[in-house]
């Protein structure tokens, strides 16, 4: 469907095949490239549409059309119109300045057509925190802490660019589905911070309940104003009570009473931080986002990672100790929870023996070398970390990517780790030294997945540019920069995951088109397409014997498929996760499938029967990645709680 952008059109819906509206005759493509699909929002100054960019392979984007609702008449109406135009132009300017930050949508275009103003920006597929609150109820202390640790650096960035957002609410913080990253949206009322603007009375703007007194009374705004709004947002998330019911004019904030009535309690120091964020007087609040972050970092580690008892298999108690290692010029600090002394496990099964800390954001990927001595992890903090799997010691941190690291893979000889990133590059690193060997360029957008063939010759990558690319690994290592040997494209949507069959003859890819495509490496053609999932395919894996493919999906299911020619129906569907499935991996023998999910658990399944063998619990957030050692006795999991857990089998 194509939606007509003429605000006066009485029947704006049109077939995708037509170039002009069948009702009013208006051209349906903006600048001959942007096609609106459907309205997704409407505010005081315009309408927002979900759209596609036909010049970028149908990539989704957002069109904001300037259609202000102006009341009054004469000079008052003109003044209101001029103010609306100013704010709309201001949003474009702010997005242009701030779009380099990965947690702020990128401005793609800003132009006038048919005497209307349009703003085109990156589409963020996700839910806002208001929607999350409506679905899951009140946030836990840990979840609120994570909101702060993700959003405060964004405030530090925009304030460093002399911009105040002025409308931070749960509705304007969006969690991106593909990686859980929080995004700050809607800069339509943002204000440029100057000495003059700080002293002047301005437009009274913001959302009632979230905006501080200085904004609502006099239109003034400071960095501390955004801190106030973020603090109120956190109180709303923590209590699931709207701000207007959390404040008593006579006694002040009452959020603690609401928590008490709900039978909840939080760390007292954390409560004091929230109190200071929402002080009425500007001078009594934190004056910068960095101040809040510093105090958050001083809180006891136990308030971030409380000891917990996983079910059904209890985790060993852990103690935190700090270890500092030096790698090159960089000083690295990581916290490791060492294994507790155990004379004899009470029962056979999987147990969490270590929790590794060191990443400052979500852990997106983990990989184990075939020798089972080395563990590699990738994170939204833009780094790769190399760990000693036996001791949990952080060996080195690899810096070089300019954006989130989405996937890591270790070569069969254990000498090279490959990483891919939202910066559109793949990097090859020497594990023993941390030296950057090569950068592989060729993808046009974020790269979500890398895999290395069992003979170490081929590297495959999958990207949001809708292609799978193949690289000669040996050749790439010998050159500082390398280009793909083959492109596989034309049959898939944005690619989330790739896997290479053990014999090296086939590549499987899964992505946002809900399908799995199996490619024949001999000719680069699609060998088979598997369709049964009802939502995006987040992860694919091929069994050690090459006969079965497993896929994990946003639809919360895992499906097992035959790799035989002509087989298109799933062998079986595994259900049991309460959140989307983010990672799947086969055991070395191929008899067990391990899956990680946004429901914070890892599940183990019997491949032949589909029976659920067990559930490992302990993470405080979504499990983004799982891996298993070559001896089948160690499982590794990486989570959005910023930790890596090591699980071992006790016979």
pLDDT at 482: 73
pLDDT at 47: 85
Q: Is residue 508 part of a domain?
A: yes
Residue 116's SS3 state is: strand
Expressed as residue numbers, the domain containing 23 is 2-122
DSSP H/E element including 539: strand 537-542
Task: Tell me, yes or no, whether 163 and 286 share the same domain.
Answer: yes
pLDDT at 139: 95
Q: How far is Cα 184 from Cα 284, in angstroms, rounded to an integer?
A: 25
pLDDT at 45: 59
Task: Please choose, from the candidates 194, 187, 123, the residue with its C-alpha nearest in 3D space to the C-alpha of residue 154.
Answer: 187
Task: Tell me, yes or no, whether 163 and 223 share the same domain.
Answer: yes
CB-hemisphere CA count at 13 Å for 261?
9
Q: Is residue 507 part of a domain?
A: yes
CATH code of residue 556: 2.130.10.10
Q: How far is Cα 131 from Cα 172, in angstroms, rounded to an integer?
A: 11
Task: Tell me, yes or no, whether 492 and 559 share the same domain.
Answer: yes
Task: Please choose, from the candidates 425, 433, 392, the residue with its C-alpha nearest in 3D space to the C-alpha of residue 407.
Answer: 425
Task: Tell me, yes or no, whether 204 and 85 share the same domain.
Answer: no
Q: Which of 239, 270, 299 is the last residue of a domain?
A: 299
Q: Look at the chain and report how many structural domains it folds into.
A: 3
pTM reported for the whole predicted model: 0.53
| Ordered mean pLDDT values, 10 residues apiece, the chain (651 residues) | 91 92 93 92 77 86 78 67 68 70 84 82 91 93 92 92 89 88 77 41 70 85 94 97 91 92 91 95 94 86 33 32 30 35 58 93 94 91 93 92 94 96 93 93 91 95 92 85 80 87 96 93 90 94 97 96 92 95 97 96 96 95 95 95 94 84
Task: Tell me, yes or no, whether 105 and 211 share the same domain.
Answer: no
Q: 128: how many CB neighbours lie within 10 A of its CB?
A: 20
The reply to whether omega before 549 is within 30° of 0 (cis) is: no
pLDDT at 325: 30
CATH code of residue 76: 3.30.200.20
Strands 436-440 and 481-482: parallel
pLDDT at 181: 87
pLDDT at 502: 96
Q: Is residue 343 part of a domain?
A: no
Task: Tell me, yes or no, whether 534 and 388 share the same domain.
Answer: yes
Q: Which of 69, 102, 122 is the last residue of a domain?
A: 122
Task: Tell me, yes or no, whether 258 and 142 share the same domain.
Answer: yes
Query: What is the Cα 315 distance to its own chain's centre?
Result: 27
Q: How far is Cα 592 from Cα 605, in angstroms, rounded to an integer?
A: 6
Q: Which of 93, 122, 151 is the last residue of a domain?
A: 122
- For 557, which DSSP code? E
Task: Tell me, yes or no, whether 33 and 138 share the same domain.
Answer: no
Task: Tell me, yes or no, whether 429 and 511 share the same domain.
Answer: yes
The answer to whether the CB of 65 falls within 8 A of the CB of 118 is yes
Task: Please choose, from the candidates 650, 570, 572, 568, the residue with its C-alpha nearest in 3D space to the C-alpha of residue 607.
Answer: 572
Q: Is residue 79 part of a domain?
A: yes
Q: Is residue 67 part of a domain?
A: yes
Q: Is residue 533 part of a domain?
A: yes
Task: Tell me, yes or no, whether 182 and 116 share the same domain.
Answer: no
For the record, the structure tokens of 45 come out as: 């100054």
pLDDT at 492: 66
pLDDT at 77: 66
Task: Tell me, yes or no, whether 269 and 173 share the same domain.
Answer: yes
The DSSP secondary structure of 610-646, one letter per residue, reads: --EEEEEE--SS-EEEEEE-TTS-EEEEEETTSEEEE
pLDDT at 301: 45
Task: Tell me, yes or no, whether 450 and 421 share the same domain.
Answer: yes
Q: Is residue 499 part of a domain?
A: yes
Q: 541: how many CB neighbours lie within 10 A of its CB?
A: 23
CATH code of residue 253: 1.10.510.10
The DSSP secondary structure of 442-509, one letter per residue, reads: --SS-EEEEEE-TTS-EEEEEETTSEEEEEEHHHHHHSSEE--SEEEESS-SSEEEEEE-TTSSEEEE
Q: Is residue 633 part of a domain?
A: yes
pLDDT at 499: 98
* Residues taking part in catalysis: 167
């Amino acid at each position: 469907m194509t939606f007509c952008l003429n605000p006066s059109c009485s029947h704006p819906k049109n077939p995708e095949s037509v170039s002009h509206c069948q009702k009013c005759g208006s051209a349906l493509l903006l600048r001959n490239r942007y096609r609106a699909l459907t309205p997704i929002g409407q505010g005081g100054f315009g309408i927002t549409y979900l759209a596609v960019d036909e010049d970028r392979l149908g990539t989704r984007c957002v069109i904001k059309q300037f259609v202000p609702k102006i009341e009054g008449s004469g000079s008052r109406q003109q003044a209101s119109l001029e103010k609306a135009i100013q704010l709309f132009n201001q949003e474009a300017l702010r997005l242009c300045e701030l779009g380099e930050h990965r947690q702020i949508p990128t401005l793609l275009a800003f132009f006038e057509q048919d005497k209307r103003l349009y703003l085109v920006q990156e589409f963020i597929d996700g839910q806002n925190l208001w929607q999350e609150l409506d679905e899951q109820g009140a946030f836990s202390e840990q979840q609120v802490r994570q909101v702060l640790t993700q959003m405060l650096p964004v405030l530090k960035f925009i304030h460093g660019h002399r911009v105040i957002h002025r409308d931070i609410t749960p509705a304007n913080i969006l969690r991106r589905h593909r990686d859980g990253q929080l995004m700050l949206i809607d800069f339509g009322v943002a204000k440029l911070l100057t000495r003059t603007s700080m002293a002047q009375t301005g437009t009274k703007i913001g959302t009632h309940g979230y905006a501080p007194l200085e904004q609502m009374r006099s239109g003034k705004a400071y960095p501390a104003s955004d801190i106030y709004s973020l603090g109120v947002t956190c109180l709303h998330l923590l209590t699931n009570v709207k701000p207007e019911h959390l404040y008593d004019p006579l006694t002040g904030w009452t959020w603690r009473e609401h928590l008490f009535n709900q039978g909840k309690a939080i760390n007292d120091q954390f409560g004091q931080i929230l109190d200071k964020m929402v002080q009425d007087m500007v001078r009594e609040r934190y004056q910068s986002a960095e101040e809040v972050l510093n105090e958050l970092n001083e809180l006891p580690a136990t308030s971030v990672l409380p000891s917990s008892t996983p079910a059904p298999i209890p985790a060993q108690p852990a103690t935190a100790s700090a270890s500092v290692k030096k790698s090159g010029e960089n000083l690295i600090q990581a916290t490791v929870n060492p294994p507790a002394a155990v004379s004899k496990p009470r029962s056979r099964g999987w147990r969490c023996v270590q929790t590794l800390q060191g990443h400052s954001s979500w852990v997106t990927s983990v990989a184990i070398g075939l020798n089972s001595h080395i563990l590699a992890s990738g994170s939204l903090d833009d780094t790769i970390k190399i760990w000693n799997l036996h001791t949990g010691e952080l060996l080195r941190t690899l810096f070089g990517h300019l954006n989130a690291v989405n996937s890591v893979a270790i070569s069969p000889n254990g000498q090279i780790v490959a990483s891919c990133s939202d910066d559109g590059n793949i990097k090859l690193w020497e594990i023993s030294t941390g030296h950057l060997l090569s950068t592989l360029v060729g993808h046009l957008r974020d790269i979500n997945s890398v895999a290395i063939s069992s003979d170490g010759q081929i590297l495959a990558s999958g990207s949001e540019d809708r292609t799978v690319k193949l690289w000669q690994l040996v050749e790439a290592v010998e050159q500082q920069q390398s280009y793909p040997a083959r492109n596989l494209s034309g049959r898939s949507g944005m690619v989330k995951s790739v896997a290479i069959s053990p014999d090296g003859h086939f590549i499987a890819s899964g992505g946002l088109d809900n399908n799995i495509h199996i490619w024949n490496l001999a000719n680069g053609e699609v060998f088979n397409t598997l369709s049964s999932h009802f939502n995006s395919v987040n992860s694919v894996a091929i069994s050690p014997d090459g006969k079965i493919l497993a896929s994990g999906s946003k639809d919360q299911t895992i499906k097992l498929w035959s790799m035989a020619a002509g087989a298109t129906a799933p062998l079986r569907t595994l259900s049991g996760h309460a959140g989307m499935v983010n990672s799947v991996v086969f055991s070395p023998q191929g008899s067990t499938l391990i899956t990680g999910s946004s429901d914070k658990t890892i599940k183990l399944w019997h491949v032949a029967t589909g029976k659920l063998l067990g559930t490992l619990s302990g993470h405080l957030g979504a499990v983004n990645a799982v891996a298993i050692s070559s001896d089948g006795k160690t499982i590794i999991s990486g989570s959005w709680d910023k930790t890596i857990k090591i699980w071992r089998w006790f016979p």
